[in-house]
Amino acid sequence: MGQRRLIVKGVSAAIVIFLMAASVAGTREVSGRQDGSERVVEIPVLNYHMVDNINISLSLAPTQFDEQMRYLYENGYQSINPEQLIDYLKYGKELPNKPVLITFDDGYLDNYTNAYPILKKYGFTATIFLVTSLVGKDPRFMNWDEVREMQQNGFVFGSHTVNHLAITTLAPQQVMNELVESSREMERELGVRPKYFAYPTGAYNRQTAELVRQAGYEAAFTIRYGRAGAESNLYAIERIPIFRSSKTFRSFYYRLTAAPLLERLGIIRN
């Protein structure tokens, strides 16, 4: 029995390694270009919330976040912004080698105090979706001066509504108010209208996605697990949620390198 268990464990490990290798290989395909370069077909969009020492699943310790950003840096990943992603998905425009879009939801103060310096250390930028009723009004969240500083250094800000309500529970006019008023507030404070939106709590449906489009946003992000690729709906773009766990880095590594194949096989889930 002991020998059999060892064989099973060995086979299981081999399967995981094979799946990871297949998934990584599946993120690229030969483009047929004369220069022989490869075309990225699926792009990881990482989804974070807090970077703090609070021991909850949505909060990575600064040391854990630094470890993940260092891994990306040492393995040649380059951060992109949503405009680059959308231009690739819509028009096939070139992306840098090994692109990754780093996103944060809600706009917590620790995004500025903890995540921002780490991202700058590795030459990365990120996209942060703001709950506008909390900016500068709740001490747990950033203020507009901090947001503007990050914007001036290449960070992108999108809307996460005014009040962070699950918009699938609201009447259409209420949804439009959340979408339009948050956009107006951000334009007043930042001088540009936000082009991108993230669904609060991840809740969306066809009707709410259409309202997001009507409100003038160019794309919207979900918390649906997977990479952004040719089959992505621009108003329901997949992301890879990153959580604190008993093995935070291992979970990050598997989600980054083996998604969405492992998820489809039920080995890891959102």
Structure confidence by residue, pLDDT tens digits, 159-187: 999 999 999 999 999 999 999 999 999 99
With a CB cutoff of 8 Å and minimum separation 6, the contacts of 123 are 73, 79
CATH number for region 41-264: 3.20.20.370
Structure confidence by residue, pLDDT tens digits, 189-211: 999 999 999 999 999 999 999 99
Would the pLDDT of 20 be above 80?
A: no
Structure confidence by residue, pLDDT tens digits, 207-252: 999 999 999 999 999 999 999 999 999 999 999 999 999 999 999 9
Lowest mean pLDDT among 82-96, 135-149, 246-260: 246-260
Q: Which of residues 176 and 12 earns the better pLDDT score? A: 176
What confidence category does residue 18 fall into, taking pLDDT thresholds of 50, 70 and 90?
A: very low
Q: What is the pLDDT of residue 267?
A: 59
Task: Give me the mean pLDDT over the 75-97 stretch.
Answer: 97
Q: Are strands 45-48 and 237-241 parallel, antiparallel or unpaired?
A: parallel
Closest CA to 179 of 144, 220, 145: 220
Tokens standing for residue 60: 């990575």
| Residues composing the chain | 270
Q: What is the pLDDT of residue 258?
A: 82
Domains of the chain, residue spans: 41-264
E strands, 80-118, where?
99-106
Q: What is the pLDDT of residue 23?
A: 43
Q: What is the pLDDT of residue 41?
A: 76
Q: What is the pLDDT of residue 269?
A: 53
* 229 and 239 Cβ atoms separated by less than 8 Å: no
Q: Which of residues 31 and 83 earns the better pLDDT score? A: 83
Residue whose token pair is 């060995």:
10
pTM comes to: 0.85
Would the pLDDT of 4 be above 90?
A: no
E strands, 68-159, where?
78-79, 99-106, 127-130, 156-159
At residue 81, the 3 state secondary structure works out as: coil
Q: What is the pLDDT of residue 200?
A: 98
Structure confidence by residue, pLDDT tens digits, 33-85: 333 344 557 999 999 999 999 999 999 999 999 999 999 999 999 999 999 99
Lowest mean pLDDT among 21-30, 75-84, 145-154, 217-226: 21-30
Q: What is the DSSP letter of 268?
A: S
